[in-house]
Structure 1
């Protein structure tokens, strides 16, 4: 039964290591030769990194093989795994479309091809045998020019039936020199009616409060309760939700241990700030959403009541979730009061 939502999952980091390795073996001789044994590749792909920048370099490995022709291959397997192994009812897939275009084209041609990339992702995400509600978040990128990032905003605004929001991705050390650009881009996005999230306050290098007023959700945001708890009142007043991705902070060296997140959850709950628990890069981590839940529970970072609150918040803050209730509430409504309805087995017993 599909019951969960993931609001923060990158297309580039969503491919589990065995699927990516098999793709190399079948379709990319150069990378197959570089990683001949699966065990060695899995250890390389999923090991902890020292910094966020080092961690983000792994995305380039996947982006190099994700293009207009291969995206259906990867997305089908993403949707299949999300439905069967994670019980997802709702999934927002985020990525930078420009980085999936043909690098041999001119910048203008690559910008034009972004629309085709969005179409491919949309079509590939609709898998009848795995009925998940999906939508796309398009990521601007700190390493791309203002012109390209504005084109990404325009693409999102012109295709709201496929795209639910925009984001900004890339190493947060690069925000500083371009912060005025991103303020303008977010202002422009809001003026065009686009919903917004953004990688912000993830590490001590990514703390830019001047972007907060333009965000409807905050990608990560853990440094707010950890280092700037005075901002929680503003976050709560704006009804912003933090997209917390627990395993990421260990993989990037941002936190030394998962238990450090207890302060994040406690301060957010005390301040009335919603949290959605997400995976970020389930493939890079080899950790699916139910295991994120389990890890938080078993380490006494949250309790079951808090977990339920986070799960409900994921649907409440889902940009394209089409219902007013989470699936569990909808299921109860469909079943009705079963205590007064005899089952077939009960009918049989009553007749004998």
Structure 2
């Protein structure tokens, strides 16, 4: 049995459609009236959008119901599904904690509430009956002010027992006017030993080379091998890993055909740049991580050797995997031990 590491999954897009619809039916009369039948909700929730910005608007639908009171409900079901249906051994869950605090509070009050959200997510993720190693990545957001993003970095530093890294989200086409500010925040994070990733080079309008040196992993990054392959040697030298989320690019209109990813994988493997295959928003896509691997194999975008390399890369580049080996190697060694020594 293959065991997987998921390095790029958003809390806001992780809730599968059926569970979200049931929640609305029980607790949100407005949305229950809007979607009285499940098929219409699933079609709305999982259909492809024309742009990344349009796609990201769906996150607001979920962020509004992922409160301090409801997060344990959603996370328990997330962990259960990840263990039973996806064979996940490791999961990094990313989100912007500020956007899970009450909108009616002042900015200062919402910042103060973020620590509570991180603690709730951390405790809810520790489900003993479904033993997955979990950690959180806190997302700075392109549409939040600097002081809030700075507070998110500080929170990552303070909550090391739950948080393994910071990220930058909100649409990579919205960073341009704030690059100096964002670089300063990344420098601040790295000076405190915080791991870093960031959504960049996902879309043609999100190519910001000045951010690349500050990232240990690159969220998506497909435009580098597609449009800027001259950057690949620098990525290989820095040991950076791309977090590739195949279904996302069809859902956001970034790619027209999955087959376009073959160039991404071929050029990265040739240059020695690691790739971790991820889901991004498993609920929005109604897709699970093993299917992403299977789909790439079915369309001959990768072969089995490359698939295994991506599986190994995910554990090697995981920020909080506590072992020196991926679980498959550990399990193989255990099964080969003589019975008398067990």
Q: Deviations over 1:56-83 (max 9, x none)?
A: 0000000010010000010000000000
Q: Deviations over 1:36-74 (max 9, x none)?
A: 110000000000000000000000000010010000010
Instruction: Please report the TM-score for the alignment, with normalisation by the length of structure 1.
Output: 0.95
For residue 161 of structure 1, report the CA deviation from its aligned partner: 1.4
Q: Is residue 173–residue 203 contact of structure 2 (8 Å, CA) maintained in 1? A: no
Q: Is residue 2–residue 83 contact of structure 1 (8 Å, CA) maintained in 2? A: no
Q: In the alignment, what sits opposite 1:101?
A: 101
Match status 1:289 vs 2:289: yes
Q: In the alignment, what sits opposite 1:219?
A: 219
For residue 283 of structure 1, report the CA deviation from its aligned partner: 0.2
TM superposition outliers: structure 1 runs of 4+ over 3 Å: none
Q: In the alignment, what sits opposite 2:271?
A: 271
CA distance in 1, matches of 2:62, 2:179: 27
Q: Deviations over 1:113-150 (max 9, x none)?
A: 00000000000000011000000000000010000000
Q: How does 1:255-266 map to 2 (within 5 A)?
A: 255-266=255-266
Q: Is residue 171–residue 199 contact of structure 2 (8 Å, CA) maintained in 1? A: no
CA distance in 1, matches of 2:167, 2:35: 32
CA distance in 1, matches of 2:264, 2:213: 21
Q: Deviations over 1:75-99 (max 9, x none)?
A: 0000000000000000000000000
**Unaligned ranges ≥5, structure 2:** none
Secondary structure in structure 2 of the residue aligned to 1:49: coil
Moved more, 318-327 or 172-181: 172-181
Q: In the alignment, what sits opposite 2:148?
A: 148
Q: How does 1:315-330 map to 2 (within 5 A)?
A: 315-330=315-330
Q: How does 1:6-155 map to 2 (within 5 A)?
A: 6-155=6-155
Secondary structure in structure 2 of the residue aligned to 1:98: helix
Match status 1:184 vs 2:184: yes
Match status 1:228 vs 2:228: yes
CA distance in 2, matches of 1:126, 1:286: 24
CA distance in 2, matches of 1:173, 1:232: 21
CA distance in 2, matches of 1:337, 1:262: 40
For residue 304 of structure 1, report the CA deviation from its aligned partner: 0.5
CA distance in 2, matches of 1:142, 1:200: 12
CA distance in 1, matches of 2:183, 2:33: 44
For residue 334 of structure 1, report the CA deviation from its aligned partner: 1.2
Q: Is residue 92–residue 134 contact of structure 1 (8 Å, CA) maintained in 2? A: yes
CA distance in 2, matches of 1:226, 1:141: 25
Aligned-residue CA RMSD (Å): 1.0
Q: Is residue 86–residue 290 contact of structure 2 (8 Å, CA) maintained in 1? A: yes
Match status 1:206 vs 2:206: yes
Q: In the alignment, what sits opposite 2:336?
A: 336
Secondary structure in structure 2 of the residue aligned to 1:26: helix
CA distance in 2, matches of 1:148, 1:320: 25
Instruction: Please report the TM-score for the alignment, with normalisation by the length of structure 2.
Output: 0.98
Q: Is residue 2–residue 89 contact of structure 1 (8 Å, CA) maintained in 2? A: no
CA distance in 1, matches of 2:285, 2:322: 29
For residue 336 of structure 1, report the CA deviation from its aligned partner: 2.2
For residue 310 of structure 1, report the CA deviation from its aligned partner: 0.1
Aligned length: 340
CA distance in 1, matches of 2:46, 2:36: 16
Q: In the alignment, what sits opposite 2:161?
A: 161
CA distance in 2, matches of 1:110, 1:232: 40
CA distance in 2, matches of 1:159, 1:17: 31
Moved more, 309-318 or 328-337: 328-337
**Unaligned ranges ≥5, structure 1:** 343-352
Q: Is residue 94–residue 136 contact of structure 1 (8 Å, CA) maintained in 2? A: yes
CA distance in 1, matches of 2:159, 2:135: 11
